[in-house]
Every structure is written in structure tokens, then in C-alpha cells.
A and B are shown apart, each in its own frame.
Chain A
Amino acid sequence: MNGSSARPSRSSEPTPHGAPKPRRELSDLQFALVVTVPVLLFLVVVVAYPLGYALYMSFHDIRFFGGYSAEFIGGENYAGVLSDSAFWGALWLTIRFTIVTVLLGLLIGLGLAIVLRDLPPGWKWLRALIILPWAVSPYGTGIFFAYLGRGQTGFGTAFANALGIDEAINFISAQWVIEYLAFGNAWNMAPLVAFFLLANMLTIPKRLYHLAALDRMNRFEQFWNVTLPPLRFTLFVFSCILTVLALKTFDFIFTQTQGGPGNASSVLTYLIYRISFVNLNLGYGAAMSFFLLALILGLTGALFFFWGRKVSR
């Protein structure tokens, strides 16, 4: 193809020099292959290879003491995980953390969206402030909520003292640490949920609210019958996003509680990290990480199966 003549003119008229020269053009499939294959190759090399390596490790007993050795032990690591009480404990914490994160994230997101929607004209700039927590990194959020929640430094203690109660209020206790962590995670993600819900809410025709008023619906009925139905698809998508993020969370817990107090917040990612990096039991850690991956795919699949199929855009 020759540079100058192949470049079409900007005018909408047909090319002035008669019929366009026959050019060798890629078919749709060829074009698709040319742009996607390099990216897919990159992803295969840098994602599938580590994953394959992890699979290899999960079938071996890898030792560092007295020189590196990897001995093939078949499915022993997997069987070990299934009979490991630490795994089942961490699994329960992970699921609890995920459920609370999703519920709080959606509810608080919905609340924020309603507040942002009802802002009077001239106050819309407040939206730019409410989005800020979303820009905070997970490790930063972890640090924020660590200082906010600890009895020694926390807001609870300062507040109680202001009321004249001379006591340390600790949110990071063995009993409630998971809920507190989920609360922090929701703080991080709720603004994004709110912004998408807000965008949806603004497309609801005002007419419907007038009709609702004619039907003498109260506020709650109006919210339930007019505002909520168009939001269902967004809520579904964000429940998937929040589920995946909550199950993957590591740095947020690492900077906030380091799995503590005791093992009270040692969710699966943290347990895998301990096994692999502290105990250097690489094969076992790899095997456990595949259970986590299965959990992530299983839960998002279940969400889609029970909810996603019923809602559409």
C-alpha cells in the first residue's frame, strides 16, 4: 500500500481519483488475531505460567533445608488441606468477611447514592469529595482503619473519653475483627458503587415519581417500587465485583491486623501467605491457593446462577 494515495481525504465525498485502488485488507478475523494474539500471549506467559508453576508445586513436597528438593507426592497436599482445621477456620472467616463486605458495600453505596442524588443544585461538587475513599489504596485503607480501631489510639476510646467514660474501646477484638475489616473494605469500595448507582438513578424518568405520588406511596414504597428495580443489574454486578475483591484481599488485612488478634482475622489469603512465606511450605500453600481460586470461581458462578440470570440490563 503506497502511503500518499492510500490516505483518504477527510471529505465525505468519494475519492476524487475514481474508484479506490484495490488494497490488501485484513479480514475481520485476521485483524482480530493481529491485535489480540500478542496480548493473549503476554497474559499466557505471565499469568498461565505462574499458575502452572503453582500447580506443579502443589503436587510436590518442596524443602529448602539441606538444599532445595522437590519430591513428587501426588495429591497429598490437597488431602492435607482438607483435613487441616486451620484451613476450615480460615475458610469460614473468609466467607464471613466476604458476605459482610458485599452487604455493607451495597447498602452504604446505595445510601451515598441517594444522598448525592438529592443534593441541591450548587452543591453537586460534594460528589467529588465523596468519591475520594475509592482512590485510597487497600494498604492505605488498612493503615487508616488500624489506627481508627485500636483501643490504644482509636476513635472509640477518644469518643468514650469525651463522654467521660474512662475506658479503652477496641474495635479490633477477636470477636468482631472480621466485621470491622469488612466495614473498612466497604469504606474503600462504597463510593464506586454509589457513583454507578447514581448514574442509574439519574436515568429514572421523573414521571414515575409523579405517578408514585398519585398512588400515595410513602417514601419507602416509592424507593422499593420506583428507585430500586432499575438498579438491580448494577447491584448484581457490584456484588460480583465486591465478592472477588473481598476474597482476593490481602494487603488490606496485612497492614491492618496481620491476621490478628491471634488468628481471628487470618483469612485464606493471609493463611496462604503465612504457610508459603513464613513456614516456607510452598507445595502446601500452592495447594491451598487452588482451593481459594475454586472458591472465587464458585461463588461468582453461584451469584450468576441464582441472581444474575434473572436480572438484565
Chain B
Amino acid sequence: MTRKRFSIWLILAVAVALLWTFLPMYWTIKYAFMTKTEIASFPPLSFPPAPQLASFFNIFGFDYTLPDGTVIPASGQARQVMLGLRNSMIVSVIVTTITMVVVLPVAYVFARLEFTAKGKLLAAILLSVSLPPVSTLIPFYAVYVQLGLVGTITGLVIVTLTITIPIVVWMLIGFFRNLPPIEQLARIDGFSRLYTFTRIIVPMARSGVLVASVIAFLFAWNEYVYAQVLVTGSQAVTLPAAMSGFLFQVPEPAHLAASLLVSLLPPFFIAFFLQRHIAEMNLV
């Protein structure tokens, strides 16, 4: 158990783990650096023969000239992609903020205070975690048509909150339960409930709050099912919905890979720097 150095088996195991982690991503992402003809060649190429950045220029609306003089024209969907990037940012930030403001006190109450019907309320919140989006999709769509919320950022924020709130409540309850009940002492000392909450509990729960907000952000950023139905082709299109144009209508693997890579940067950045805190989440 307490091996201090690499043995040959450990090196092998690490190599397999890295291959498992990166091969599936690499296989698609490499298209971003290849031309159409290179992608279409058979047998498939494992490495881009002449890596270039054309796709990244194309998806943001610029032509790109290869060294041999061929011009790869900008993508017709560039506007959607840029709009999607902007909207994804807006939706994710709004959703994260609202989720955290609303959920922190709720999770605290469920973790610390005893009151009647607590079990049932908790069960109701958890039930909404297990609802499959396909069963609420049509009702949402029908209601949104009547309210004029189809194709709006407001509409998308509301649906996304139904995903993030229950999950984050669930995660934070476990986290609050594990904190020492110092705030009881503060209450005995005569501090008000609000003061205790904002000045003692939330700062004590810093890392939990951080991870929970990051998870809310990830869920909002990665949401695709509702976006595909509610905002595709509208002014409120998000990045995943904008990208699906490269997948279904006119398949453009190079542009798809480039925009996928762009969409992965924020989640990767977050996961990379927060990994040591993830298991503090008391999901369990």
C-alpha cells in the first residue's frame, strides 16, 4: 500500500488510466486541427498530418489561408456560435448566483433545524432530482409557448434552476451536517440568526460553497436537452445548442471539434483547480 516509488506495474496502470482519460477526447479533438479531406481519409488518421488552426478562426467568423494558399471560408454558423458562447456564460452565471443565494439557507435549515414534515419536504426535493427531462420537456414547452418564454434567456434560466437547485441542496445538506455546531454557541451569545448565518456559517462552509457553486455552474454550462428544444436557432441559443448544427444539419467534424474544445475550457479549468475539494462535498 505504501509504495514510495514507481514500480513497473504502477507505471503501466498510470499509463492505462491516462490513455483511458485522454484517448476518447483526443480522437475527436484532433479534427479541429485537420482539413476536411484529411478527416475523410480512410483508414482514419491517428494524428493530424499538418496541424493548423483554421477551424478556430472559422467558427468565430474568419476565413483562414493555409500555407499552400487554399482559403478555408468562415463557417456560416459563426454568428450562432458566438451568440451561444455569450448566452452560455450569461445563463450559467445567473443560474449559479440564484442557485447559491436560494439554496444556502435551505440546505442549512435542513441540515441543522428539526421541524415537522422535514422528511417529506426533503423527499420532495430529492424526487425532482430523479425526474427525467424528457417527461417535463413537452409540458414546459407548452407552458412556455403560452407565456412567450420560448427562445428567451429567462425561460432557459428557469428550467435550468429546476436542475441545479435540488442537486445543490442535496450536496450542501451533507456538508453543513459535518460542520461543528459552533453557530449554536454564537446564538447563545446573542448573535442574530442572520448575522450568525452570513458571518459564521457561510465562511466556515467556504470550500463547500465553492464546490457547490462550481457544480451548479457545470450543470448549467453543460445543459443541452432543454436548450435544444427551447432556444435552438433563437437569439437565446446556448453553445451546446449552437454546436449541434455542426453535428446534425451539415456535419462539420472540424468545426464541431473546435467549438467542443472551446466549450470544454471553462469546465476543465474548474475541475483541474478544484479537484482536491470535490470529495469534501459529502455527496455520500
Contacts and interface: CB of A to CB of B under 8 A. Distances in A.
The size class of the interface chain B forms with chain A is: 35 or more
A73 interface: no
A128 B275 contact: yes
Contacts of B124: 40, 43
Given A43-B128, A286-B135, A155 B190 contact: no
Contacts of B273: 128
B90 interface: no
B179 interface: no
B102 to A, nearest CB: 5
A8 B28 contact: no
B105 interface: yes
A54 B20 contact: no
Q: Which of A29, A247, A251, A276 has the most CB of B within 10 A?
A: A251
Contacts of B148: none
Given A28-B115, A148-B24, A128 B272 contact: yes
B193 A196 contact: no
Given A28-B113, A43-B165, A115 B224 contact: no
Interface in B159-195: 159, 161-162, 165-166, 169, 189-193, 195
A49 B6 CA distance: 57
B21 to A, nearest CB: 6
Contacts of B44: 152-154, 157-158
A184 B5 CA distance: 32
Interface string B1-41: 11111100010011001101111110110010000000100
B109 to A, nearest CB: 5
Interface in A259-295: 269, 272-273, 276-277, 282, 285-286, 289-290, 292-293
Interface string A29-61: 101110110111011001101110110010000
Contacts of B280: 199
A225 interface: no
A244 B129 CA distance: 9
Contact of A196 (B28, B130, B279): B279
Contact of B191 (A8, A114, A251): A8
Q: Which of B130, B193, B244 has the most CB of A within 10 A?
A: B130
A26 interface: yes
A131 B190 contact: no
B103 A39 contact: yes
Given A49-B143, A136-B25, A250-B132, A120 B4 contact: yes
Interface stretch (A80-88, A95-103, A139-147): A139-147
A299 B141 CA distance: 29
A126 interface: yes
B106 A35 contact: yes
Contacts of A39: 102-103, 106, 165, 169
Contacts of A123: 14
Given A51-B135, A143-B247, A244-B129, A195 B165 contact: no
Interface stretch (B50-58, B59-67, B73-81, B263-271): B263-271
A276 B109 contact: no
Given A118-B13, A135-B264, A148-B27, 11 more contacts: A36-B109, A39-B169, A43-B162, A50-B140, A137-B267, A140-B222, A157-B42, A195-B279, A248-B133, A277-B138, A300-B130
26 contacts: A8-B190, A25-B193, A32-B118, A39-B102, A115-B17, A119-B14, A126-B14, A131-B272, A131-B275, A137-B222, A137-B263, A140-B222, A140-B264, A143-B256, A153-B253, A191-B21, A195-B279, A237-B283, A244-B130, A248-B131, A250-B132, A254-B225, A273-B134, A273-B137, A292-B132, A293-B135
Interface of A: 1, 6-8, 12, 14-15, 20, 23, 25-26, 28-29, 31-33, 35-36, 38-40, 42-43, 46-47, 49-51, 53-54, 57, 108, 111-112, 114-121, 123, 126-141, 143-145, 147-148, 152-155, 157-158, 161-162, 166, 184, 187, 191-192, 195-196, 198-199, 206, 209, 222, 233-234, 237-238, 241, 244, 247-248, 250-251, 254-255, 269, 272-273, 276-277, 282, 285-286, 289-290, 292-293, 296-297, 300, 313
Return the 6 tightest CB-CB contacts between A and B, nearest first: A137-B222, A289-B135, A50-B139, A199-B279, A135-B267, A53-B139
